[in-house]
Structures are given as C-alpha cells and as structure tokens.
Amino acid sequence: MSFFLWTYGRMSCALVLILTVAAGCSTVPTDWGAAEVQLSVRERGRAPTSDREEAVAAVLHHPLNVRSAVALALVNNPGLRATYGELGFAAFDLAAAARLHNPVLSWAGLEDGGDRISTVGLVASIADVVTLGARRRVAEARRIEARAEVAHAVLETAADTERAFYRYAIARERERRAAKVAQIAALSAELADRYFDAGNLTPRELALERAAAAVALLEAEEASAGIAPARTDLAMLLGLSASQGWRVDATLDLPRPLSHELEGLKELAMKNRLDLVAANDRITRLRDDRRARGWQRFLGVFDLGLERERETSGDRFLGPTVDLELPLNNHPEEIGRADVAIAVAIAERDGLLNTIDSAVERAHAAIESARARIAIYRDDLIPARREATRRAQEEANFMLIGTFELLRSREDEYRATADYLDAVEDFWVERTELTRAVGTTLTIGSRRIPLGLDAVSDEIGGHHDHGAGEGR
C-alpha cells in the first residue's frame, strides 16, 4: 500500500509540474489575423494600402477619385480601425482557451501545544486538461467568425465610401449647374423689368418671370446647402476633417451594361457575402459549444494535487490529493440556453439570406432603370434640347422670337443636362449598393467623363463614337 502511495505521489507530482509548465505555453499572433482579413478583402476586389500616413499625405496633394478614396478609408477610417480590435479580442480569447489555469499552491501551519504541523500543497485542475480541446475548438471557431465579421465591415466601409464619394462629386456639380440656371433666370427677370418699364410686358408676364427667377434661386440655394453634408459624410468615412484641403476628381465613369445577369449576381452573393460566412460560422461554433456543454456539465471540479506535511517530530508525509465534484446538479439550463442560441442564429442567418436576395434584386432593378433614363437623356432629350436652343438662336437673330424664348430654351437645356447627371449619380450609387449586396466588386465597362456642364454636353454630342471603354 505504501509503495502504491509513493508511486502515485511521484506521478501526481510529475503531472502537476507538467500542468504548471503547460499553463503558460499559449501565444497570440502578432497581427491578430489582420493578414487573413486583408486576403479575404483582396479576393473581393478591394486592396487597402499598407501605409496610412503616406495615404493621408497623398490625398492632400492629389485629387481623390473613387478608388483612392476607398483605399484611404480602408486604412484611415477610425471606426474600421477600431473594428480590427475584434480580431485582437478573438485572438486573446483563443490564447486563453488554450491555456490551463495556474496550479494552486497552499500552505498551512498548525500548532497544538508544543506540536507544530506544516503542510504544503500543490493542486492542478484535471478538468482543464480534459476540456482543453473543446475550448480551443470553440475559441478558434469564434476567431474565424470574427475574421469574417471584420472583413465584412471592411467591405461595408468601402461601399459607404464609394456612395459618399459619388454623392459629394455630384453635389458639387449640382450646385454649379443650379447656379447657372439661376443666373439665366435672373437675367431673364432683369430683362423683364426693362421690358415692363418700357411698356412692352404685362404685369402678369413680369410676375411669371420674377417667379421663375425665384424658383431657380431656391433650387440653387438647396443645391448649395447639399454640399456641406455631402462633404462631411465623405470626410468622416475617410478619417479626415471636412475643413482640410482635400478635393475630388471632377470626372466620373460613364455607365455601361452589367457583366452579370440577375441570377448570376445572386450566385455571386451566396459565395462572397462575408456576413453570410460569419453567420454560418456562428451556427457551427454554437453547435460545437453545445456538444461540449453536453458532457462538460457532468465533469465539474476535478483537481489533482500533491500534499507534503511536516511535523515537529521531524516526520514527513507526502501523498496525492483529489477533489471531485459530485454531479448532483447537471445544470440543464446551460443546454437549454445553448439550444436557444442556435435557434436564434439559424433564424438570423435565414433572415440574412432573404435580405441579400432582396437587396440584389432591388439594386439590379434600380441600375437598369437608371441606365434606361440615362439613355433617354443622352440619345433623345439633351440632343433635342440642344437643337432647340440652336434653332432658337437662329430665330432670335432674325427677330422671329424674343430674347425670353431664347433664354428659356437655354435654361431648359441646362435643366436637361442637370437631370442627366442626376441619373448618372443614381446609377453609380445603385451600382455601389449592388456591390454591397453581392459582396464583391463588379466589372462594368465604363469610360471616364468630365462632370462639368459644357464637357458633359460635348460628351453627349459625340457619344455615338464611344467604345466599350475600360473595365472597372
């Protein structure tokens, strides 16, 4: 019997020492998994730069286009940078799950009259060892889930930045063209005042000209008021101040047809949406956790230790200790909570599938509608307005019509061009929403065009000669 205790004691001592060393053997990756996130992002058409300070400096020296704006946001957006912290939390959770609890060292000194007993104990948890594999699997699954969530946040930031860029670029041009229309309307009203003073205009006609000038001035004020919020929205996504001296490129891509049909877009979304990947990973993790809880709840406390006792007489005693929790209460509520969590995760995943399907259909329909409107403006309305202005100028030269009719024709031409650019904005905003819905960038044939009024008119006048253009 004594030999058994001696052998068991030595084995217990060795095991406790092994557990003591193993308790501190887990490490955390230096980048917390950021390289894996960036790989997922690049596979979906986004390429964040690596040097944040260099990207910020470049913005202050060169106009932003949509690509450089997205690249800057992906490294400088404060909210996105904070989101990367989720990778750190998940990495440290994995490290904690792979680490055993520290062994417990105890000491007790007892005295009875002249007799003294000194006891030293060392205890380590065997339950920690038994559950180590399950804990690591669950923590690793959470790390994979966090990686997909962060990568999805990166793509969301990219889509938000694209949208904000288009909004701001068009807002600036909207102000310019509205100011031009207001200028023409003001000129017409001023001329009406002179005609009225000369007795060549009725009070009703004068009131109509003044009302038209007031409407155009209101439109110009509304367009001007839209610039500040559009600039601040973009600045926040870029991680810059709206008052800094950055500017945007005064060109935009001329839309071309999509390279995928609707069903193909839905298939892309099922493959590329990282929030869907994260949702499926969450279900897998919760199921693994549920299986682990199913047997871990019966384990409870299971500690193995080694105790050494020394008495005043000089006698020494060495032997093992075991603490084992009796499973009288097996905590059924833990299994119930795990089942509820799985059911909720499945319902959320199913809801996300419906959301993705609807988002792809809505964005696709909106893009096709915008493209149809662009074609009507470009092929029919604007050429007709330009021809009407040209003919009006000829008739005014021969005094067949008055100056008011000529100014009105010119104003109608500018308004048609303004509406055309609004349709272009709708296209690119909805294209951004389709990119968001699909979860990856899309190839759309396009050609860069200036946003200025005169340049757009020239572009429309020669649009029949355009080629397929450069793919985005």
pLDDT at 28: 56
Task: Select the more confidently predicted residue: 450 or 60.
Answer: 60
In this prediction, residues 462-470 reach a mean pLDDT of 38
pLDDT band at 298 (very low <50, low <70, confident <90, very high): low
Please count the residues of the chain: 472
pLDDT at 207: 93
Q: Give the pLDDT confidence of 124-171 residue by residue, as tens digits.
A: 777 777 777 777 887 888 888 888 889 999 999 999 999 999 999 989
pLDDT at 225: 95
Q: Give the pLDDT confidence of 404-440 residue by residue, as tens digits.
A: 888 889 888 888 888 888 888 899 899 999 999 999 9
pLDDT band at 276 (very low <50, low <70, confident <90, very high): very high
- Whole-prediction pTM value? 0.75
pLDDT above 50 (res 445): no
How far is it, in rounded angstroms, from Cα 254 to Cα 261? 20
User: In terms of Cα–Cα distance, which of 247, 227, 221, 212 is closest to 173?
Assistant: 227
pLDDT at 103: 83
pLDDT at 320: 80
Pick among 2.130.10.10, 2.60.40.2220, 1.20.1600.10, 1.20.58.220: CATH of 2-471: 1.20.1600.10
Task: Select the more confidently predicted residue: 144 or 384.
Answer: 384
In this prediction, residues 3-7 reach a mean pLDDT of 44
For 289, the token pair is 């956790």
pLDDT above 60 (res 391): yes
For the chain, what percent of residues have pLDDT higher than 90? 31
pLDDT band at 112 (very low <50, low <70, confident <90, very high): low
pLDDT above 70 (res 175): yes
pLDDT at 144: 85
Q: Give the pLDDT confidence of 240-268 residue by residue, as tens digits.
A: 999 888 988 867 766 666 667 889 899 99
pLDDT at 371: 87
pLDDT above 90 (res 352): yes
